């Protein structure tokens, strides 16, 4: 009977299975196949994604492999990065509270704060259509509705829609269609945002490769970028997600979009276990 050690973590309800590389090698499986198996909520552990830490990187302290629950790779995941940072420090993969991680979205820099939260430098938002990638207009017609959209990349593509309607109902109905819309050749995460004040927004998300999730860190960042550029919020914003709040800081503006964006939130262990393959 083959077993592997796994760790289950969550950030604002966005949950992940973490498997160290030696444990992954024991399985003899491809990583995408393992992700599908472990993330299944009926037959597996249940998670939004699989994280495999890598310690053999050259230009950073660590690296990771990240897979969505459907086995597809994701360039970045803000909630996953917070969980990864806490896991890496607690398990002595690094010996410092601020370090660098190689991802498919580039180098990301998390930091464990004294108050127990994790602050992640998510890098600069990408607004150039070709780099998102995005091919289309700033209006999109889906089913029976037309939306004004804000395409943003945080290393992964996002379609931010600011609305006065119920964000959850919109995410459930329109998210699956927008995810695969022809405007987004690599598919997209879709955020529906309701502005409560200049310091606070509500956000619901339909994630590419996952569906409705309790939280999305890159989506929270993309949403704040869209709100700031539309002059709807200040530069420090509380983002209320289905699984709880995170805080996003971005000093950018229409005249200066090339400022780093910071995501601050919690990361928690759910359990440690052995999984029988």
Active-site residue numbers? 77, 216
Residues facing residue 4 across a β-bridge: 275
**Element at 25 (helix H, strand E):** helix 21-27
Using an 8 Å Cβ cutoff, are 161 and 147 in contact?
Answer: yes
Structure tokens, 114: 């004294």
Using an 8 Å Cβ cutoff, are 68 and 40 in contact?
Answer: no
User: Rounded to the nearest 5 degrees, what angle is found at the Cα of 23, between the Cα atoms of 22 and 29?
Assistant: 105
Question: Rounded distance, CA 26 to CA 8, Å?
Answer: 19
Query: Which has the closest alpha carbon to 152: 78, 233, 222?
Result: 222
Find the DSSP H helices in 50-92: 78-90
Residue 37: φ, ψ to 5°: -70, -50
Count other C-beta atoms under 10 Å from residue 136's C-beta.
15
Query: Which has the closest alpha carbon to 82: 51, 124, 111, 48?
Result: 111
């Amino acid at each position: 009977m083959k077993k592997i050690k796994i760790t289950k973590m969550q950030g604002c309800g966005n949950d992940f299975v973490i498997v160290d590389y030696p444990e992954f090698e024991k399985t003899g499986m491809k990583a995408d196949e393992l992700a599908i198996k472990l993330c299944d909520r009926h037959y597996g552990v249940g998670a939004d994604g699989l994280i495999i830490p890598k310690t053999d990187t050259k230009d950073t302290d660590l690296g990771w492999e990240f897979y969505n629950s459907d086995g597809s790779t994701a360039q970045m995941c803000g909630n996953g990065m917070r969980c990864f940072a806490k896991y890496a420090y607690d398990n002595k993969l690094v010996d410092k509270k601020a370090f660098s991680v190689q991802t498919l979205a580039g180098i990301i820099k998390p930091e464990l704060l004294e108050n127990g939260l994790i602050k992640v430098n998510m890098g600069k938002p990408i607004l150039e259509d070709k780099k998102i990638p995005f091919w289309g207009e700033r209006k999109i017609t889906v089913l029976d509705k037309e939306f004004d959209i804000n395409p943003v990349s945080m290393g992964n593509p996002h379609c931010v829609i600011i609305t006065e309607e119920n964000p959850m109902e919109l995410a459930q109905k329109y998210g699956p269609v927008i995810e695969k819309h022809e405007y987004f050749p690599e598919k997209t995460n879709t955020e529906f945002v309701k502005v409560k004040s200049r310091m606070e927004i509500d956000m619901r998300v339909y994630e590419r490769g996952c569906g409705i999730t309790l939280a999305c860190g890159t989506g929270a960042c993309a949403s704040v970028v869209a709100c700031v550029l539309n002059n709807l919020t200040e530069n420090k914003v509380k983002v209320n997600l289905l699984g709880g709040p995170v805080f996003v800081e971005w000093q950018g503006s229409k005249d200066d979009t090339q400022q780093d964006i910071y995501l601050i939130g919690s990361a928690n262990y759910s359990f440690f276990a052995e999984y029988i393959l």
